[in-house]
Structure 1
Amino acid sequence: MSLVSLFTFISPVSSTMIAPALTHISSDLHITTEFLSELVLSSFILVYAFGPLFLGPLSENHGRVRVLQVGYLFYFAFNLGCGFAQTTGQMIAFRFLSGIGGSVPLAKSASTDWRFPSKIGGGVLGDTFRPEDRGTASAVYSLAPLLGPALGPIFGGFIAEKTTWRWVFYATSTAVIVLQFAGLFILRETYPPYILRKRAKKIREETGDHLYQTTEERQNKTLAQGLKTSPIRPFRLLFTQPIIQVLSVYMAYVYGLQYLMLSTFPSLWTDSEYYGESIGIGGLNYISLGFGALSGSLIAARLNDYTYANLKARNNGSGKTEFRLPLLAITSICCPIGLFIYGWTAQTHQPWIAPNIGACIFGVANMISFQCMQTYTVDTYTKFAASAMASVSVLRSICAFAFPLFAPYLYNALDYGWGNSVLAFISIAIGFPVPIFLWVFGERLRKASPYAAG
């Protein structure tokens, strides 16, 4: 599982690793607009919204390991192509195509069997862990893909400063080849229906008795059927389930803010009008976001389960999904506080530590909010956890793609102070009502839903 986590880690790292080098990339490829410059960064993330919905059924028919390795070979080829790109069109196209391979660990299965939720990167939380333990499991599971975007620019900044921006792509491609080689010896198939099909096929070949078939084989499930089922259910949940809609909007906004900050961080630290640091030193400021994400994950792992267990004990031993919400209510306030501190200390040219404190607070609140919402989603839609997570992932990934595109225009018009204040006010307007709404109406909505656990 640690090797699969590394596969899952590589893709988010790649999504932001080029952020400190965007100025050099724009200069070498003659990119003249900030929109196209940010598109080079965010085009990789756009595929996260839709790629997993179609890649999931492939893992049902061909196994998780095979799809994971083939997908990362696809990522390797086009990520390496980014390093050799000579035009803006080539760079954006290769980034988009490498994102398809990079989205493989996020792929969900079309399987309707709740015992086998099959997110290739490890979406087994609803089945494997008790409600009291899912907070810890969720925190550990999400650490790699959420910490990766904060760590990527640290590596990318020094690589770009000491060599050239092209080595940012060469380095990640080299890492993938090493992981692929290790995977040939370490990775083993873990998707139960696929393993059963292989065993049944072997028995049929040895005995000649075609009565040995799995349940799915008797139902004649095909890849085409999976491709029809997999993308449809997440959208059905998104358009029919108020809980999914509320969580999707808030999670999308929080995730979009994360990528907005990640994409604009270099311009603050390297701009001579503000801090005038080198690319490498400027990249070190991402440590505040990474430390915030790590701290938030550790806090969520401890407090999420503690709060749930404590409220369950007070409720005569009866647990409710809404017991995940008190922590979310607190972080819905902390997130805008971090944005206010970050924006106004940068605007007024305070010492470098001050904006980093704001960014760290934002990172902590961002991570805890994400963990609470993810665990609440898994608890609510246990049987359809993979589809529910795919539902919220669609809008989340679209916002992660779109927010960096308008960020330069936001800060050019309002600067860091009022620009981040606007984002903070919107965060308050969206985030604060969410836990209150779900605390009051969540149980009623679950009981009325044919998909929820009740």
Structure 2
Amino acid sequence: MPHFVPRHSRDEEDGMIPLPSVEFYTEYNSRYDIPVPAVRLSSELHQRHDTASDNTHRDFESDEDHGTSSAEPNTGSHDSQKSRLLFVDQDSLVTWSGPDDPSNPLNWSRPRKWISTLLVSCFTFISPVSSTMVAPALSTMANEFRIQSDIKQYLLMSIFLLAYALGPFIIAPLSEMYGRVVVLQSANMFYLVFNTACGFATSGNQMLAFRFLSGFGGSAPQAIGGGVLSDCWRKEERGAATAIYSLMPFIGPAVGPIAGGYLTNYLSWRWIFWVVSMADALVQLLALLFLRETYAPKILATRKRKLQELTGNHRLHTEYEKPDRTFGHVLRKNLIRPFRMLFTQPAIQALSLYRGYQYGLMYLVLASFPLVWEGVYSQGKAIASLNYISLGVGFVIGLQFCGRAVDIIYVRLQKRYDHPGRPEFRIPLMLPGGLLVPIGLFLYGWSAQYHTHWIVPNIGAAIFAIGLIISFQCAQTYVVDAYTRYAASATGAAAFVRTLAGFAFPLFAESLYRALGLGWGNSLLAFVSLALGIAAPLLLWYHGEWLRAKSPYCAG
């Protein structure tokens, strides 16, 4: 809950006698469900109170883990309802009442934290599902819309990701200005409308336009989700939550084509979009009921406004406010922050390149599945779509292993180095994950090239998926730990590169495999992945702390 914290007066600093203390207590206001500060003054202090009302003493320590401040009043004796403050100047700071303030999302109960995590993860699952559900239906849609170009046909799927790449640069900063929840839910409604409209498209151009707009709204969960997790979970706790959240952008594209294949085969490709919209509407309803704001500056600003209305003290402020900040200034600053972080932060650049390449590989492999299963193995659409299960199985196995391992390794490294924790403690698992990705690609490509038993390419795809989710999660937790307060902008910057690669890679899939074949085509991709999978972890392990020390955006 918000709390008034007294500020030292100039008289105290000069050794003069401080002002008399007053009795400070709390009255419960049922209208806003918040405690209201009240003051009980003796008669001889009324005149002094008239000239120095609502003044406070600021005495807080920075909480680097959350980007906020925790505070304890500088008081004498007190009980659960009373404390003593000094009224000494014209400043009134609204901050947390202490390190255990229950209104601070870091202090929420675990069930409440998990509700927020799971709802955001559901949003993060829904839109990637719609990004790839069309994969089995591309040829059907191309025939109906009379699309002759292979590139334009694949564009029906990947243009969704082009908007995914652009959306975070607006959505993530807006969440840091106006709060995570209102921006997330507004963007999701935007996605819901245009995803539904895709099912009513009558031409290829209409479909491209609706897919782009739905992708813009659908980018919100990936842009904001990392910030929600950093708001709720402490560093040593967030591994499991990040594991589930990080799984969604991968499990969604793996599950989507399975449903898409059956819906296209037995109903119509239009039902692909309508079914996803129905599921998204249900998640939206649950979020409206149960998802609460997690961003500390927004929470404190809201409480400050309520206290101003109740007390009439318009001098109340939070530590995040600056008197010279206009709306235009804040808007310009927040909209360019992700770009600035992307082009000035080497750690974000390294991880964005690595994650972007891997994310592009995932969509390229997804685009190659119809070539492999319907072409090489001559399977029908419905049966061929079941092979996407191999990717989903790999992602789940990787999640089960990495979810706990990343936190266990983090705690052990804390003890080994006698250090409270560094983002670099998330790095060690990236190396084995980076090795599994090319191994899976080699097996998938060459087994399909030589038409081995159908289980072998599926095993290769599963190994590829295991390495992908391990690497992705380690990189995600590193970014959230290193750029805690600006986690939404940092993840938005990384999402730009990642989803831009996801947009571009499928466009050259058919040309690549036509020129090199499935074996050498996947081998080329695997060699590049191997180089990046070794270079990125080593760079961050040995030089990450030095890079963070030079960054104005890092938590420490």
Q: Same fold (TM over 0.5)?
A: yes
Corresponding residue for 2:465?
A: 363
Larger RCO (CA within 8 A; separation ≥ 6): 1
Q: Equivalent residue for 1:395?
A: 497
2:242 counterpart (130, 133, 138): 138
CA-CA distance at 1:222 after TM superposition: 5.2
Residue 307 (structure 1) aligned with residue 409 (structure 2):
yes
Q: How many Å apart are 1:192 and its aligned residue? A: 4.0
Structure 1 match to 2:279: 175
1:48 aligns with 2:164: yes
Q: Name 1:333's counterpart in structure 2.
A: 435
CA distance in 2, matches of 1:143, 1:244: 20
Equivalent position to 2:198, from 74, 77, 82: 82
- Paired with 1:84 and 1:130, the residues of 2 have a C-alpha distance of 45
- Equivalent residue for 1:23? 139
Contact 2:226–2:480 (CA<8 Å) still a contact in 1? no
State the match for 1:233 in structure 2. Answer: 337
Shift in alpha-carbon separation, 1:66–1:17, aligned structure 2, 3 A: same
Q: Does 1:437 align with 2:533?
A: no
Name the residue aligned to 1:410.
512
Tell me, yes or no, if the aligned pair for 1:154 and 1:280 is still in contact at 8 Å.
yes
Report the Cα distance in structure 1 between the residues aligned to 2:125 and 2:169, rounded to whole angstroms.
20
Distance in 2, matches of 1:36 and 1:413, equals 19
Q: Aligned residue for 2:3? A: none
CA displacement at 1:85 relative to structure 2: 1.1
Identity of aligned residues (%): 52
Residue 150 in 1 paired to residue 266 in 2?
A: no
Equivalent residue for 2:149, pick from 10, 24, 33: 33
Give yes or no for contact 2:181–2:292 (8 Å, CA) kept in 1: yes
Deviates more, 1:274-283 or 1:239-248: 239-248
**Retained in 1: the 8 A contact 2:191–2:217?**
yes
Q: 2:222–2:495: 8 Å Cα contact kept in structure 1? A: no
Q: How far off its partner does 1:319 sit? A: 4.1
Closer/same/farther in 2, CA of residues 347 and 5 from structure 1, 3 Å limit: same
Distance 1:388 1:57, change over 3 A: closer
Q: What is the CA distance between 1:264 and its match in structure 2? A: 2.1
Aligned to 2:265: 161
Partner of residue 16, structure 2: none
Q: Quickly say closer, same or farther: Cα 1:307–1:67, change in 2 above 3 A.
A: closer
| Superposed CA offset, 1:187-239 (max 9, x none) | 44444433444444344445554334545566365553343122322222222
Q: Which has the higher helix share?
A: 1
Aligned residue among 523, 533, 543 for 1:421 = 523
Task: Tell me if structure 2 keeps the 8 A contact 1:54–1:227.
Answer: no
> CA 1:71 to 1:7, structure 2 compared with 1: closer, same or farther past 3 Å?
same
1:57 Cα offset (Å):
4.3
Which residue does 1:281 correspond to in 2?
383
Separation in 2, partners of 1:213, 1:184? 28
Check the 8 A contact 2:180/2:228 in 1, yes or no.
no
Q: For the residues of structure 2 that align with 1:127 and 1:152, how far apart are their CA atoms? A: 30
| Aligned amino acid, residue 409 of structure 2 | T
In the TM superposition, what is the alpha-carbon distance from 1:287 to its structure 2 partner?
A: 0.7
Larger strand percent: 2
Shift of residue 125 of structure 1? Answer: 3.9
What residue number does 2:444 align with? Answer: 342
Distance 1:176 1:314, change over 3 A: closer
Distance 1:248 1:218 in 2: 32
- Name the aligned partner's letter for residue 549 of structure 2: K
CA–CA distance in structure 1, aligned partners of residues 178 and 554 of structure 2 = 30
d(CA) in 2 for partners of 1:190, 1:357: 40
Q: Is the 8 A contact 2:228 2:294 kept in 1?
A: no
Residues 205-224 of structure 1 aligned to structure 2 (within 5 Å) = 205=309, 208-215=312-319, 219=323, 221=325, 223-224=327-328
Q: Distance in 1 between matches of 2:390 and 2:450?
A: 19
Q: Give 2:395's aligned amino acid.
A: A
* Aligned partner of residue 75 in structure 1, secondary structure: helix
In the alignment of these two chains, the number of paired residues is: 440
Deviations 1:33-75 (A, max 9, x none): 1100111101111122221221234445654443333322222
1:69 and 2:185 are equivalent in the alignment: yes
Moved more, 60-69 or 91-100: 60-69
Structure 2 segments unaligned to the other structure (5+ residues): 1-115
Q: CA RMSD in A?
A: 2.3
Q: Indicate if the aligned counterparts of 1:18 and 1:41 stay in contact, CA closer than 8 A.
A: yes
CA distance in 2 between counterparts of 1:315 and 1:195 reads 36
Quickly say closer, same or farther: Cα 1:302–1:190, change in 2 above 3 A: closer
What letter is aligned with 2:276?
T
- Decide whether the 8 Å contact of 1:21 with 1:156 is kept in 2: yes
Can you list the C-alpha shifts for 1:254-279, whole angstroms capped at 9, x where unaligned? 111011112221232112xx111121
Partner amino acid, structure 1, of 2:205: G
Name the counterpart of 1:116: none
**Secondary structure of the corresponding residue to residue 432 of structure 1:** helix
2:363 matched residue in structure 1: 259
2:346 to 242, 253, 257: 242
Is contact 2:342-2:349 (8 Å) kept?
yes
Give the distance between the partners of 2:150 and 2:125, measured in 1 at CA.
28
Check conservation: 1:61, 1:223, Cα contact below 8 A: no
Match of 2:453 in 1: 351
> Which residue type is aligned with residue 227 of structure 1?
L
Q: Which amino acid aligns with 1:337?
A: I
Is residue 173–residue 489 contact of structure 2 (8 Å, CA) maintained in 1? no
2:85 is matched with which residue? none
Structure 1 residue 348 displacement after superposition: 0.5
Does the 8 Å contact 1:57/1:226 carry over to 2?
no
The answer on 1:382 being equivalent to 2:498 is no
Helix, strand or coil at the partner of 1:81: helix
The alpha carbon displacement at 1:399 in A equals: 0.5
User: TM-score, normalization: structure 1?
Assistant: 0.89
In the alignment, the residues of structure 1 paired with residue 547 and residue 220 of structure 2 have an alpha-carbon distance, to the nearest angstrom, of 32
Give the counterpart letter for 1:421 in structure 2.
S
Amino acid at match of 2:449: Q
Query: Is the 1:57–1:223 Cα contact (8 Å) retained in structure 2?
Result: no
